[in-house]
Chain A
Amino acid sequence: MDARDDIYEYSLDLHHGEEEGKKIRKKFMMVLAILSIVTIVEVAMGMMWSRDESMASILKYTFITLTLVKAGYITMIFMHLGDEKKSFQWTILLPYFVLIGYLIFICLTEAVYNSGIRPAIENYFGF
Protein backbone atom coordinates (compact mmCIF):
# COMPACT_ATOMS: atom_id res chain seq x y z
CA MET A 1 0.00 0.00 0.00
CA ASP A 2 1.44 3.35 -1.00
CA ALA A 3 1.48 6.04 1.63
CA ARG A 4 -0.72 8.95 0.71
CA ASP A 5 1.07 12.24 0.91
CA ASP A 6 -2.05 14.29 1.51
CA ILE A 7 -2.80 12.66 4.86
CA TYR A 8 -0.54 13.40 7.77
CA GLU A 9 -0.05 10.31 9.94
CA TYR A 10 -0.24 11.70 13.45
CA SER A 11 0.43 8.31 14.96
CA LEU A 12 3.98 8.44 13.64
CA ASP A 13 4.69 11.30 16.05
CA LEU A 14 4.22 8.84 18.89
CA HIS A 15 7.07 6.56 17.82
CA HIS A 16 9.94 6.49 20.25
CA GLY A 17 13.24 4.71 20.80
CA GLU A 18 14.33 2.02 23.25
CA GLU A 19 15.63 4.46 25.85
CA GLU A 20 12.43 6.43 26.06
CA GLY A 21 10.41 3.21 26.01
CA LYS A 22 12.11 2.10 29.20
CA LYS A 23 11.08 5.30 30.98
CA ILE A 24 7.50 5.00 29.73
CA ARG A 25 7.23 1.38 30.85
CA LYS A 26 8.50 2.32 34.29
CA LYS A 27 5.71 4.88 34.51
CA PHE A 28 3.12 2.21 33.62
CA MET A 29 4.44 -0.07 36.35
CA MET A 30 4.15 2.76 38.86
CA VAL A 31 0.53 3.28 37.84
CA LEU A 32 -0.14 -0.46 38.16
CA ALA A 33 1.27 -0.38 41.69
CA ILE A 34 -0.84 2.66 42.62
CA LEU A 35 -4.05 1.17 41.21
CA SER A 36 -3.47 -2.18 42.95
CA ILE A 37 -2.71 -0.58 46.30
CA VAL A 38 -5.78 1.66 46.08
CA THR A 39 -7.98 -1.37 45.27
CA ILE A 40 -6.54 -3.37 48.18
CA VAL A 41 -7.08 -0.43 50.54
CA GLU A 42 -10.69 -0.11 49.35
CA VAL A 43 -11.48 -3.77 49.89
CA ALA A 44 -9.80 -3.78 53.29
CA MET A 45 -11.76 -0.70 54.37
CA GLY A 46 -14.96 -2.32 53.14
CA MET A 47 -14.25 -5.51 55.08
CA MET A 48 -13.46 -3.65 58.30
CA TRP A 49 -16.09 -0.93 58.38
CA SER A 50 -18.91 -1.72 55.97
CA ARG A 51 -21.23 -2.72 58.85
CA ASP A 52 -20.22 0.14 61.09
CA GLU A 53 -22.97 2.78 60.78
CA SER A 54 -20.79 5.60 62.11
CA MET A 55 -18.23 5.01 59.36
CA ALA A 56 -20.79 4.92 56.54
CA SER A 57 -20.44 8.45 55.21
CA ILE A 58 -16.66 8.55 55.63
CA LEU A 59 -16.44 5.28 53.71
CA LYS A 60 -18.76 6.54 50.98
CA TYR A 61 -16.76 9.68 50.24
CA THR A 62 -13.39 7.91 50.58
CA PHE A 63 -14.50 5.27 48.07
CA ILE A 64 -15.75 7.87 45.60
CA THR A 65 -12.55 9.92 45.91
CA LEU A 66 -10.32 6.88 45.48
CA THR A 67 -12.38 5.80 42.46
CA LEU A 68 -11.88 9.20 40.85
CA VAL A 69 -8.13 8.92 41.54
CA LYS A 70 -8.07 5.53 39.80
CA ALA A 71 -10.15 6.84 36.90
CA GLY A 72 -7.77 9.78 36.53
CA TYR A 73 -4.73 7.50 36.28
CA ILE A 74 -6.44 5.21 33.75
CA THR A 75 -7.59 8.00 31.42
CA MET A 76 -4.55 10.25 31.72
CA ILE A 77 -1.77 7.61 31.65
CA PHE A 78 -3.16 4.40 30.14
CA MET A 79 -5.42 6.09 27.60
CA HIS A 80 -2.76 8.76 27.00
CA LEU A 81 -5.30 11.55 27.34
CA GLY A 82 -2.66 13.42 29.32
CA ASP A 83 -0.44 13.43 26.21
CA GLU A 84 -3.10 14.86 23.91
CA LYS A 85 -3.58 18.55 23.24
CA LYS A 86 -5.34 20.58 25.93
CA SER A 87 -8.17 21.44 23.53
CA PHE A 88 -8.77 17.75 22.87
CA GLN A 89 -8.74 16.89 26.58
CA TRP A 90 -11.50 19.44 27.14
CA THR A 91 -13.45 18.21 24.14
CA ILE A 92 -13.58 14.76 25.70
CA LEU A 93 -14.00 15.67 29.36
CA LEU A 94 -16.26 18.72 29.32
CA PRO A 95 -19.42 17.04 27.91
CA TYR A 96 -18.93 14.32 30.44
CA PHE A 97 -18.54 16.70 33.39
CA VAL A 98 -21.66 18.56 32.25
CA LEU A 99 -23.66 15.33 32.10
CA ILE A 100 -22.46 14.14 35.50
CA GLY A 101 -23.21 17.52 37.02
CA TYR A 102 -26.68 17.38 35.52
CA LEU A 103 -27.33 13.84 36.77
CA ILE A 104 -26.21 14.70 40.29
CA PHE A 105 -28.36 17.84 40.22
CA ILE A 106 -31.42 15.96 39.01
CA CYS A 107 -30.96 13.22 41.62
CA LEU A 108 -30.58 15.69 44.46
CA THR A 109 -33.52 17.88 43.49
CA GLU A 110 -36.05 15.54 41.91
CA ALA A 111 -35.57 12.75 44.45
CA VAL A 112 -37.84 14.67 46.84
CA TYR A 113 -40.78 13.41 44.81
CA ASN A 114 -39.96 9.95 46.07
CA SER A 115 -43.15 9.62 48.05
CA GLY A 116 -45.15 10.82 45.07
CA ILE A 117 -43.76 8.36 42.55
CA ARG A 118 -43.72 5.61 45.11
CA PRO A 119 -47.18 4.11 44.34
CA ALA A 120 -46.27 3.94 40.64
CA ILE A 121 -43.00 2.22 41.41
CA GLU A 122 -44.72 -0.13 43.83
CA ASN A 123 -47.17 -1.02 41.13
CA TYR A 124 -44.49 -1.57 38.59
CA PHE A 125 -41.81 -3.38 40.58
CA GLY A 126 -44.12 -4.91 43.10
CA PHE A 127 -42.75 -3.69 46.39
Chain B
Amino acid sequence: MSGHVSQTAAPSHSDHSAGAWAGGTSPYKISYGKMMMWFFLVSDAFTFSGLLTAYGYMRHKYTDIWPTAGDVFTHFPFYDGHIELAYVAFMTFVLIASSVTMVLAVEAGHRMNKKQVQFWMVLTIVGGLIFVGSQAWEWYHFIHGTEHGAYLLEDGVTVMRHKIDPHTHVMEQGVFLVPENDQSGFREVSGAEAQAMLTNAEHIHGANLHHNEYGVPLFANFFFFITGFHGFHVFSGVVINFIIFLMVVEGKFEKTGHYEMVEKSGLYWHFVDLVWVFVFTFFYLL
Protein backbone atom coordinates (compact mmCIF):
# COMPACT_ATOMS: atom_id res chain seq x y z
CA MET B 1 0.00 0.00 0.00
CA SER B 2 2.89 2.37 0.57
CA GLY B 3 5.92 3.25 -1.49
CA HIS B 4 4.16 5.44 -4.01
CA VAL B 5 3.30 8.15 -1.57
CA SER B 6 6.68 9.83 -1.84
CA GLN B 7 5.97 10.87 -5.44
CA THR B 8 3.41 13.52 -4.78
CA ALA B 9 2.68 13.61 -1.06
CA ALA B 10 1.97 17.03 0.29
CA PRO B 11 3.59 17.68 3.67
CA SER B 12 0.27 18.24 5.38
CA HIS B 13 -0.93 14.75 4.54
CA SER B 14 1.26 12.94 7.02
CA ASP B 15 0.21 15.25 9.82
CA HIS B 16 -2.65 13.34 11.40
CA SER B 17 -2.40 15.00 14.74
CA ALA B 18 -4.56 17.91 13.56
CA GLY B 19 -7.51 15.60 12.87
CA ALA B 20 -9.17 14.63 9.62
CA TRP B 21 -11.28 17.79 9.36
CA ALA B 22 -8.64 20.32 10.32
CA GLY B 23 -7.75 21.11 6.73
CA GLY B 24 -4.79 20.42 4.47
CA THR B 25 -5.96 16.88 3.80
CA SER B 26 -9.04 15.21 2.39
CA PRO B 27 -11.05 14.01 5.38
CA TYR B 28 -12.38 11.09 3.40
CA LYS B 29 -8.95 10.14 2.00
CA ILE B 30 -10.50 9.86 -1.43
CA SER B 31 -9.75 11.77 -4.59
CA TYR B 32 -12.01 14.55 -5.80
CA GLY B 33 -13.08 12.75 -8.98
CA LYS B 34 -14.08 9.55 -7.26
CA MET B 35 -16.00 11.37 -4.57
CA MET B 36 -17.93 13.37 -7.16
CA MET B 37 -18.72 10.20 -9.06
CA TRP B 38 -20.14 8.76 -5.85
CA PHE B 39 -22.26 11.86 -5.27
CA PHE B 40 -23.58 11.69 -8.81
CA LEU B 41 -24.44 8.02 -8.33
CA VAL B 42 -26.34 8.78 -5.12
CA SER B 43 -28.47 11.34 -6.97
CA ASP B 44 -28.99 8.94 -9.85
CA ALA B 45 -30.04 6.27 -7.37
CA PHE B 46 -32.66 8.71 -6.06
CA THR B 47 -34.12 8.98 -9.55
CA PHE B 48 -34.33 5.23 -9.97
CA SER B 49 -35.85 4.70 -6.54
CA GLY B 50 -38.48 7.28 -7.43
CA LEU B 51 -39.32 5.39 -10.61
CA LEU B 52 -39.41 2.02 -8.91
CA THR B 53 -41.52 3.34 -6.05
CA ALA B 54 -44.02 4.77 -8.53
CA TYR B 55 -44.07 1.40 -10.24
CA GLY B 56 -44.60 -0.43 -6.93
CA TYR B 57 -47.43 1.92 -6.00
CA MET B 58 -49.33 1.33 -9.25
CA ARG B 59 -48.54 -2.36 -9.25
CA HIS B 60 -50.20 -2.73 -5.85
CA LYS B 61 -53.05 -0.43 -6.71
CA TYR B 62 -54.00 -2.76 -9.58
CA THR B 63 -52.59 -5.84 -7.93
CA ASP B 64 -55.32 -8.23 -9.10
CA ILE B 65 -55.27 -7.30 -12.77
CA TRP B 66 -51.57 -6.46 -13.19
CA PRO B 67 -49.89 -8.59 -15.89
CA THR B 68 -47.48 -11.23 -14.59
CA ALA B 69 -44.02 -10.64 -16.05
CA GLY B 70 -43.65 -14.40 -16.28
CA ASP B 71 -46.51 -14.48 -18.81
CA VAL B 72 -45.14 -11.60 -20.87
CA PHE B 73 -41.42 -12.31 -21.15
CA THR B 74 -41.29 -15.90 -22.24
CA HIS B 75 -39.24 -15.68 -25.40
CA PHE B 76 -35.82 -17.19 -25.82
CA PRO B 77 -33.67 -16.89 -28.96
CA PHE B 78 -33.72 -19.88 -31.32
CA TYR B 79 -36.36 -21.57 -29.21
CA ASP B 80 -40.00 -21.64 -30.18
CA GLY B 81 -41.58 -22.51 -26.85
CA HIS B 82 -42.07 -20.59 -23.63
CA ILE B 83 -39.45 -20.31 -20.92
CA GLU B 84 -40.41 -17.85 -18.26
CA LEU B 85 -37.88 -15.13 -17.59
CA ALA B 86 -34.98 -17.28 -18.77
CA TYR B 87 -33.73 -14.58 -21.11
CA VAL B 88 -33.96 -11.91 -18.42
CA ALA B 89 -31.96 -14.17 -16.12
CA PHE B 90 -29.38 -14.49 -18.89
CA MET B 91 -29.25 -10.69 -19.27
CA THR B 92 -28.79 -10.33 -15.52
CA PHE B 93 -25.93 -12.79 -15.61
CA VAL B 94 -24.26 -10.95 -18.52
CA LEU B 95 -24.42 -7.67 -16.62
CA ILE B 96 -23.06 -9.20 -13.40
CA ALA B 97 -20.26 -10.87 -15.39
CA SER B 98 -19.39 -7.57 -17.07
CA SER B 99 -19.30 -5.99 -13.63
CA VAL B 100 -16.70 -8.57 -12.63
CA THR B 101 -14.59 -7.94 -15.74
CA MET B 102 -14.78 -4.22 -14.93
CA VAL B 103 -13.57 -4.73 -11.38
CA LEU B 104 -10.77 -6.91 -12.75
CA ALA B 105 -9.77 -4.04 -15.04
CA VAL B 106 -9.67 -1.75 -12.00
CA GLU B 107 -7.57 -4.31 -10.12
CA ALA B 108 -5.15 -4.61 -13.05
CA GLY B 109 -4.92 -0.82 -13.03
CA HIS B 110 -3.80 -0.95 -9.40
CA ARG B 111 -0.89 -3.10 -10.58
CA MET B 112 -0.23 -0.71 -13.50
CA ASN B 113 -0.69 -3.62 -15.90
CA LYS B 114 -1.81 -1.90 -19.10
CA LYS B 115 -2.32 -5.10 -21.12
CA GLN B 116 -4.70 -6.60 -18.59
CA VAL B 117 -6.63 -3.35 -18.16
CA GLN B 118 -7.19 -3.32 -21.93
CA PHE B 119 -8.24 -6.97 -22.00
CA TRP B 120 -10.78 -6.68 -19.19
CA MET B 121 -12.17 -3.40 -20.51
CA VAL B 122 -12.80 -4.95 -23.92
CA LEU B 123 -14.70 -7.80 -22.27
CA THR B 124 -16.71 -5.28 -20.23
CA ILE B 125 -17.64 -3.33 -23.36
CA VAL B 126 -18.65 -6.53 -25.13
CA GLY B 127 -20.80 -7.54 -22.14
CA GLY B 128 -22.47 -4.13 -22.17
CA LEU B 129 -23.21 -4.40 -25.88
CA ILE B 130 -24.72 -7.87 -25.42
CA PHE B 131 -26.93 -6.46 -22.68
CA VAL B 132 -28.12 -3.47 -24.71
CA GLY B 133 -28.76 -5.76 -27.67
CA SER B 134 -30.74 -8.13 -25.49
CA GLN B 135 -32.83 -5.28 -24.22
CA ALA B 136 -33.56 -4.17 -27.78
CA TRP B 137 -34.55 -7.73 -28.58
CA GLU B 138 -36.88 -7.83 -25.60
CA TRP B 139 -38.48 -4.51 -26.55
CA TYR B 140 -38.99 -5.87 -30.06
CA HIS B 141 -40.93 -8.88 -28.75
CA PHE B 142 -42.90 -6.82 -26.28
CA ILE B 143 -43.87 -4.27 -28.95
CA HIS B 144 -44.80 -6.91 -31.52
CA GLY B 145 -46.63 -9.14 -29.06
CA THR B 146 -48.20 -12.49 -29.75
CA GLU B 147 -49.79 -13.91 -32.88
CA HIS B 148 -53.24 -14.22 -31.33
CA GLY B 149 -53.12 -10.74 -29.80
CA ALA B 150 -55.94 -9.30 -27.71
CA TYR B 151 -58.98 -7.06 -28.17
CA LEU B 152 -59.26 -3.43 -27.19
CA LEU B 153 -62.90 -2.87 -26.33
CA GLU B 154 -65.10 -0.02 -27.48
CA ASP B 155 -64.20 2.20 -24.53
CA GLY B 156 -60.66 2.30 -25.88
CA VAL B 157 -58.99 1.19 -22.64
CA THR B 158 -60.26 -2.21 -21.48
CA VAL B 159 -58.33 -5.11 -22.89
CA MET B 160 -60.05 -8.43 -23.48
CA ARG B 161 -57.54 -11.24 -23.64
CA HIS B 162 -57.72 -14.85 -24.74
CA LYS B 163 -57.84 -17.31 -21.89
CA ILE B 164 -54.53 -19.14 -21.91
CA ASP B 165 -53.44 -21.78 -19.45
CA PRO B 166 -50.36 -20.38 -17.73
CA HIS B 167 -48.75 -23.81 -17.45
CA THR B 168 -49.49 -25.47 -20.76
CA HIS B 169 -49.81 -22.23 -22.78
CA VAL B 170 -52.83 -23.70 -24.55
CA MET B 171 -55.45 -21.16 -25.63
CA GLU B 172 -59.10 -21.88 -24.89
CA GLN B 173 -61.03 -21.04 -28.07
CA GLY B 174 -63.80 -18.49 -27.72
CA VAL B 175 -63.15 -17.84 -24.02
CA PHE B 176 -61.87 -14.42 -22.99
CA LEU B 177 -60.84 -12.62 -19.82
CA VAL B 178 -61.86 -9.04 -19.02
CA PRO B 179 -61.06 -7.08 -15.87
CA GLU B 180 -63.90 -6.68 -13.40
CA ASN B 181 -65.28 -3.16 -13.15
CA ASP B 182 -63.77 -2.70 -9.69
CA GLN B 183 -60.44 -4.16 -10.84
CA SER B 184 -60.66 -6.98 -8.32
CA GLY B 185 -59.75 -9.64 -10.85
CA PHE B 186 -60.82 -11.05 -14.20
CA ARG B 187 -64.09 -12.53 -15.30
CA GLU B 188 -64.51 -15.06 -18.06
CA VAL B 189 -66.57 -14.11 -21.08
CA SER B 190 -67.70 -16.48 -23.83
CA GLY B 191 -70.44 -17.18 -26.33
CA ALA B 192 -72.91 -14.45 -27.35
CA GLU B 193 -71.67 -12.01 -24.71
CA ALA B 194 -68.13 -12.27 -26.04
CA GLN B 195 -69.32 -11.84 -29.62
CA ALA B 196 -71.25 -8.71 -28.66
CA MET B 197 -68.20 -7.22 -27.00
CA LEU B 198 -66.02 -8.09 -29.97
CA THR B 199 -68.15 -6.28 -32.56
CA ASN B 200 -66.63 -2.86 -31.99
CA ALA B 201 -63.35 -4.07 -30.51
CA GLU B 202 -60.00 -3.45 -32.09
CA HIS B 203 -57.62 -6.38 -32.56
CA ILE B 204 -54.29 -5.37 -31.03
CA HIS B 205 -50.87 -6.99 -30.92
CA GLY B 206 -48.12 -6.18 -28.45
CA ALA B 207 -47.72 -3.06 -26.42
CA ASN B 208 -47.03 0.60 -26.92
CA LEU B 209 -47.73 3.77 -24.96
CA HIS B 210 -51.45 3.66 -25.83
CA HIS B 211 -52.47 0.07 -25.32
CA ASN B 212 -51.04 -3.16 -24.03
CA GLU B 213 -52.00 -6.59 -25.27
CA TYR B 214 -51.07 -8.13 -21.91
CA GLY B 215 -53.46 -6.00 -19.86
CA VAL B 216 -53.05 -2.74 -17.96
CA PRO B 217 -51.45 -0.10 -20.26
CA LEU B 218 -49.52 1.32 -17.29
CA PHE B 219 -47.48 -1.87 -17.22
CA ALA B 220 -46.19 -1.08 -20.70
CA ASN B 221 -45.58 2.57 -19.85
CA PHE B 222 -43.52 1.66 -16.82
CA PHE B 223 -41.69 -1.06 -18.72
CA PHE B 224 -40.65 1.30 -21.50
CA PHE B 225 -39.70 4.08 -19.14
CA ILE B 226 -37.79 2.13 -16.49
CA THR B 227 -35.97 -0.33 -18.74
CA GLY B 228 -35.47 2.44 -21.29
CA PHE B 229 -33.94 4.75 -18.70
CA HIS B 230 -31.74 1.94 -17.44
CA GLY B 231 -30.84 0.87 -20.97
CA PHE B 232 -29.79 4.42 -21.75
CA HIS B 233 -27.52 4.29 -18.70
CA VAL B 234 -25.99 1.06 -19.98
CA PHE B 235 -25.51 2.61 -23.42
CA SER B 236 -23.79 5.68 -21.93
CA GLY B 237 -21.69 3.35 -19.80
CA VAL B 238 -20.53 1.49 -22.90
CA VAL B 239 -19.63 4.79 -24.61
CA ILE B 240 -17.75 6.06 -21.53
CA ASN B 241 -15.93 2.74 -21.16
CA PHE B 242 -14.99 2.85 -24.83
CA ILE B 243 -13.56 6.36 -24.56
CA ILE B 244 -11.55 5.40 -21.48
CA PHE B 245 -10.43 2.21 -23.20
CA LEU B 246 -9.01 4.38 -25.99
CA MET B 247 -7.23 6.51 -23.39
CA VAL B 248 -5.76 3.35 -21.87
CA VAL B 249 -4.56 2.20 -25.28
CA GLU B 250 -2.97 5.61 -25.88
CA GLY B 251 -1.01 5.10 -22.67
CA LYS B 252 -2.41 8.21 -21.06
CA PHE B 253 -2.67 6.64 -17.62
CA GLU B 254 0.83 5.16 -17.77
CA LYS B 255 2.01 8.76 -17.92
CA THR B 256 -0.31 9.93 -15.13
CA GLY B 257 0.94 7.12 -12.93
CA HIS B 258 -2.42 5.65 -11.99
CA TYR B 259 -5.60 4.25 -13.58
CA GLU B 260 -8.07 6.20 -11.48
CA MET B 261 -10.13 7.08 -14.55
CA VAL B 262 -10.85 3.37 -15.00
CA GLU B 263 -12.00 3.26 -11.38
CA LYS B 264 -14.38 6.15 -11.93
CA SER B 265 -16.00 4.66 -15.01
CA GLY B 266 -15.99 1.36 -13.11
CA LEU B 267 -18.05 2.94 -10.33
CA TYR B 268 -20.59 4.08 -12.90
CA TRP B 269 -20.64 0.66 -14.53
CA HIS B 270 -21.21 -1.16 -11.23
CA PHE B 271 -23.98 1.25 -10.44
CA VAL B 272 -25.72 0.31 -13.69
CA ASP B 273 -25.47 -3.31 -12.62
CA LEU B 274 -26.75 -2.41 -9.16
CA VAL B 275 -29.82 -0.70 -10.60
CA TRP B 276 -30.53 -3.69 -12.81
CA VAL B 277 -30.51 -5.97 -9.78
CA PHE B 278 -33.37 -3.88 -8.39
CA VAL B 279 -35.22 -3.56 -11.72
CA PHE B 280 -34.94 -7.34 -12.14
CA THR B 281 -36.49 -7.97 -8.74
CA PHE B 282 -39.19 -5.33 -8.72
CA PHE B 283 -40.22 -5.50 -12.34
CA TYR B 284 -39.73 -9.11 -13.30
CA LEU B 285 -39.86 -11.17 -10.12
CA LEU B 286 -42.43 -9.47 -7.93
Contact = CB atoms under 8 A, between A and B. Distances in A.
Interface of A: 1, 3-18, 21, 24-25, 28-29, 31-32, 35-36, 39-40, 42-43, 46-47, 50-51, 59-60, 63-64, 66-67, 70-71, 74-75, 77-80, 84-85, 87-88, 91-92, 95-96, 99-100, 103, 107, 111, 114, 125-127
Interface of A is mostly: helix
B107 A21 contact: yes
Contacts of A24: 107
B38 A36 contact: no
Contact of A84 (B30, B166, B270, B286): B30
A32 B102 CA distance: 12
A3 to B, nearest CB: 5
Interface string B21-32: 000011111110
A42 B84 CA distance: 12
Interface residues of B, number: 82
A67 to B, nearest CB: 4
B218 A125 contact: yes
Interface of B: 1-5, 7-10, 13, 20, 25-31, 34-35, 38, 42, 45-46, 49-50, 53, 56-57, 60-61, 68, 70, 84-86, 89, 92-93, 96-97, 99-100, 102-104, 106-108, 110-112, 156-158, 166-167, 179, 183, 216-218, 255-260, 263, 266-267, 270-271, 273-274, 277-278, 280-281, 284-286
A114 to B, nearest CB: 6
Which residue among B3, B86, B92 has the maximum number of chain A CB atoms within 10 Å of its CB? B92
B161 to A, nearest CB: 14
B281 A10 contact: no
Given A40-B89, A107-B57, A74 B49 contact: no
Contacts of A5: 8, 10
A4 to B, nearest CB: 7
A43 B103 contact: no
Mostly helix, strand, loop or mixed at chain B's interface? helix
Given A11-B263, A60-B286, A96 B45 contact: yes
A16 B285 contact: no
Given A103-B49, A127-B217, A87 B20 contact: yes
Given A78-B99, A87-B28, A3 B7 contact: yes
B257 A9 contact: yes
Nearest to A45: B285
A43 to B, nearest CB: 4
Given A5-B10, A78-B103, A96-B42, 6 more contacts: A11-B263, A13-B1, A21-B108, A32-B96, A85-B29, A85-B30
A30 to B, nearest CB: 11
Given A50-B70, A85-B30, A35 B96 contact: yes
A50 B157 CA distance: 27
Contacts of A78: 99-100, 102-103, 270, 273
Contact of A43 (B26, B85, B278): B85
A47 B85 CA distance: 8
Given A88-B30, A127-B158, A12 B89 contact: no
Contacts of A51: 68, 70, 166-167
B136 to A, nearest CB: 22
27 contacts: A8-B25, A10-B30, A10-B34, A11-B31, A12-B257, A13-B29, A16-B111, A24-B107, A42-B281, A47-B85, A59-B285, A59-B286, A63-B281, A64-B286, A66-B281, A78-B102, A84-B28, A84-B29, A85-B27, A88-B29, A92-B38, A111-B57, A111-B60, A114-B61, A125-B218, A127-B179, A127-B183
